[in-house]
Amino acid sequence: VPNYRLLVEYDGTAFEGWQLQPGGARTVQGALEAALRPVAGGAVRVHGAGRTDAGVHALGQVANAHLARSLPPEVMVRALNAALPRDVAVRAAALVPEHFHARRDARRKRYLYRLWTAPARSPLRDRISLWVPQPLDLAAMRAAAAALCGTHDFASFRAAGSAAPTSVRTLWGLEIAGEAGGEVSLAFEGDGFLRHMVRNLVGTLLEVGRGRRRADSIQAVLAAATRAAAGPTAPARGLVLVAVHYDLDFPSRSGGLEAGEG
């Protein structure tokens, strides 16, 4: 059975998240499965690398789907994008080995969280960033970010009720770019992220940036291993799943994944 890998971009504002839900909520997975049905000639299950929450965006979500028939990836991209609503699109498709699974095989993910730190809010940035009217102490935030990098038990940053068997994760990088008073972005790269982990990290770093929490308290927050020790969950609107990486670059039968990337 041909297995296709899809590179998916979406504006999460009007979606109830990635994952299919009972009751017909509008989800990205649901939109993709509906668009794939006529292309594949039957019902299709789509597996996404990351189950993004309602309001979270993606530039480089990765999904895979087994189709009953084989199609040139370029034809599939065109057919899917013609059928999908405006706020979701497939950037590229590729045939991959039958055993490839977008979520289980993911080795590394990159998320970006955007802030707009000017005194007045910015309507043109409203859907994709969080407005923070206060000036932020970026040096203090960077010191706190450095303490978060590495392999830690991130239990303090995990959503209540999260079912992951372990909360140990490796954060390879947390870069804070931009300047106080303008656009600031926080880039997270890690082997995997617990539910709400990025947004809880952002909420905690914002407390540091506002002077409400000391940068050197991060070790204690991690050691507490309880959600109450960390800051609040930052809103979904600022978060984008930028990329998902895999061990191998799967060769495809007609054009690699990268061929179609913008």
Smallest separation, CB 181 to a copy of itself (Å): 7
Smallest separation, CB 126 to a copy of itself (Å): 5
Residues whose CB is less than 8 angstroms from the CB of residue 173 and which lie 6 or more positions away in sequence, other chains included: 149, 187, 188, 189, 190
- Both tokens assigned to 42: 């039957």
Range 103-122, binding a copy of itself (CB under 8 A): 116, 118-122
72 contacts a copy of itself (rule: CB under 8 A): no
Identity of residue 86? R
Dist CA 123 CA 48 (whole Å) = 31
What's the number of CA atoms in the CB half-sphere (13 Å) around residue 163? Answer: 0
Packing angle between helix 197-209 and helix 138-148, nearest 10 degrees?
A: 140
Identity of residue 125? R
57 contacts a copy of itself (rule: CB under 8 A): yes
Identity of residue 255? G
Range 239-258, binding a copy of itself (CB under 8 A): 240
Tokens 């300047």 correspond to: 179
Smallest separation, CB 170 to a copy of itself (Å): 28
- Between 40 and 132, CB nearer to a copy of itself: 132
Range 146-205, binding a copy of itself (CB under 8 A): 181-182
Smallest separation, CB 50 to a copy of itself (Å): 16
128 contacts a copy of itself (rule: CB under 8 A): yes
Annotated active-site residue in 53, 126, 191, 247: 53
Tokens 């080995």 correspond to: 97
87 contacts a copy of itself (rule: CB under 8 A): yes
At residue 208, what are phi and psi to the nearest 5 degrees? -65, -45
- Between 147 and 260, CB nearer to a copy of itself: 260
Clarify whether 53 is annotated catalytic: yes
User: Do residues 56 and 236 lie in contact, with contact meaning Cβ atoms separated by under 8 Å?
Assistant: yes
Residues at the site binding a copy of itself, with contacts judged by CB under 8 A: 9-11, 57, 59, 74, 77, 81, 86-92, 116, 118-124, 126-128, 181-182, 240, 260-262
